[in-house]
Amino acid sequence: MNQYISNVYKLQSHCNQPNVDVSTGLRLAFNENIHQSYSSASMLLEDLSTLINHQENEIDRYIQAHGEEFRRKLAEKTQRHYHALIGSANESALRVIREKEAVLEKAARRKAELEARAMQLSAEAQVWEAKAKANEAVAAALQAQLQQTMVGCVSQGEVVAGGDVEDAESSYVDPERVVVARGPGCKACGKRVASVVLLPCRHLCVCSECDDVVQTCPLCLSFRSSSIEVYI
């Protein structure tokens, strides 16, 4: 019995011995597999990291290349836009300047015309003032001459009236001589007293009625330009 039990123990020991070896082998194989897995994973991670770095470098180079091109195109577009804005602003400024210059030129022409017209009117006024003064002087001289003539005519009439009263013909007073006694007679109609001086000849030779119709002086036959009426 004891021997049987001893044999059983031996058999069990013998059966248990391979299990220990199998477990040890499995552990070794498992550890080796794990090590190989770690090695494979490490190599895979290294390859993946290299690939990622390569892709990142490619992306960086692509972005850099296209970024420079984009910046260049953007700069060109911005420059063209600025040039267009500057050109438009210059055109607007030139148009406004031309309009202002046209207005100033028109105002300058108008000013020059007004100044020329003012100078012309001033010159005409001076001429008319000089003519008026000259006519006033002529009228004053003719007035004095007319008064002297009238005084002479009156004196002549008195001499005629104080002549030989007995002679009927000499004592006869002609109506025309009465007119002459009141002033010089009109050389146009011969009926009224001359009261208008013709210019430029300055002859006191027509009456106010004949002044409207005569074109030449009855005394010197020169063309008249104007006349002055004197009041006795």
Same domain? For 190 and 203 the reply is yes
Calculate what percentage of the chain has a pLDDT beyond 70: 66
What's the whole-number mean pLDDT along residues 96-105?
92
CATH of the domain at 208: 3.30.40.10
Q: What is the pLDDT of residue 229?
A: 82
At how many degrees (to 10) do helices 2-161 and 175-182 cross? 130
Rounded CA separation 155/149 (Å) = 10
Q: What is the mean pLDDT of residues 78-105?
A: 89
Tens of pLDDT, residues 33-79: 655 665 666 677 777 778 888 888 888 787 777 777 878 888 888 88
Residue partners of 179: CB distance under 8 A and separation at least 6: 185, 191, 192, 193
- The answer, yes or no, to whether the previous bond of 218 is cis (omega within 30 of 0) is no
Domain with 144 in it: 138-229
Q: Tell me how many domains the chain contains.
A: 2
Task: Check if the beta carbon of residue 154 is closer than 8 Å to that of residue 181.
Answer: yes
Query: Which of 73, 104, 137 represents a domain boundary (last residue)?
Result: 137
